[in-house]
Amino acid sequence: MADTMTPGAGEPIDPAVRERVLASFARQGLMRHLGASVVAVAPGMVTIRMPFREELTQQHGYFHAGGTSAIADSAGGYAGLTMFPADSSVLTVEFKINLIAPAEGDHLEAVGRVVKAGRTLTICQLEVFGVKGETRTLVAVGQQTLICLAGRPDRSDG
């Protein structure tokens, strides 16, 4: 059954769109620093995984909210980018996140889903799960507003 909230959900991703998302993600120094990776790209939906490392914890040994929030923000941003024109890029205008359970596990998985894609502003739903073995626990939920920078693709590495 197709996801009725995510525009384009259930449709295959255009390989050029997938490559644009992955190339942009690869330019993010913070995501490299966190050890995060993109594990799924679909129209209006992106999933990012961040493995557990001691350096990513807070004083109780849980994943720090900063890392949790960062991967949620990027998952939503790239979900939005899948819906934008090829010559554009994305910036977050605003996001709110609620931390609803201790973020623990072998890794975190952030899922960004487009709720409403607009010409200029796009709204996304954010979810972050703590994953330990086969168990997935919802640890954070949020909402995000993105702006499409039409005619302004990401800066190049060169």
pLDDT tens profile 33-76:
999 999 999 999 999 999 999 999 999 999 999 999 999 999 99
Report the predicted TM-score, pTM, of the whole model to 2 decimal places. 0.92
Which residues are CB-contacts of 55 (< 8 A; sequence separation ≥ 6)?
none
Beta strand pairing call for 107-117 and 45-51 = antiparallel
Domains defined for the chain, CATH in brackets: 15-149 (3.10.129.10)
If you average pLDDT over every residue of the chain, what do you get?
93
Identify any residues that bridge with 95 across adjacent strands, giving them in sequence order: 144
